[in-house]
Amino acid sequence: MIEPAIGLSVPTVDTALQNLDRAYAELRAAQDRLGDAVLTARSAGATWAQIGDATGMSRQAAHERWGHLPRGGCRRAGCDCPHHLPHDCPCGHAGRRRREPSGAP
């Protein structure tokens, strides 16, 4: 358990949870802004290496984190997929789908 600084009182559970909720909302908003900035950078022609450098990670890590985001919108006509996440994208734009080997039952 983290002890409060000397002279500071410990908040109630309700206050602590309200602070946690507010901090989480701020984090989500910052993550959304970061994702938007990555999309803007990609649309402007930035490489994954440049985006990685700007965000303190490797190009591979940047691509893994944001590569699923549709650049310039989904290119499939009539697509109603809200997110293009690899694990549950119904439109198939989330990336490569694993193919079964030839002759598989």
Task: Convert the pLDDT of each residue in 61-102 to its tens digit.
Answer: 999 999 887 765 455 555 666 655 555 566 655 554 444 445
Q: Judge whether residue 6 has pLDDT over 90.
A: no
Q: Cα(66)–Cα(85) distance, rounded to whole angstroms?
A: 10
Of 68, 74, 35, the residue nearest 51 (C-alpha)? 35
For the stretch 29-68, pLDDT in tens is 999 999 999 999 988 889 999 999 999 999 999 999 998 8
CB 70 within 8 A of CB 80: no
Reading the block at residue 105, the tokens are 């039952």
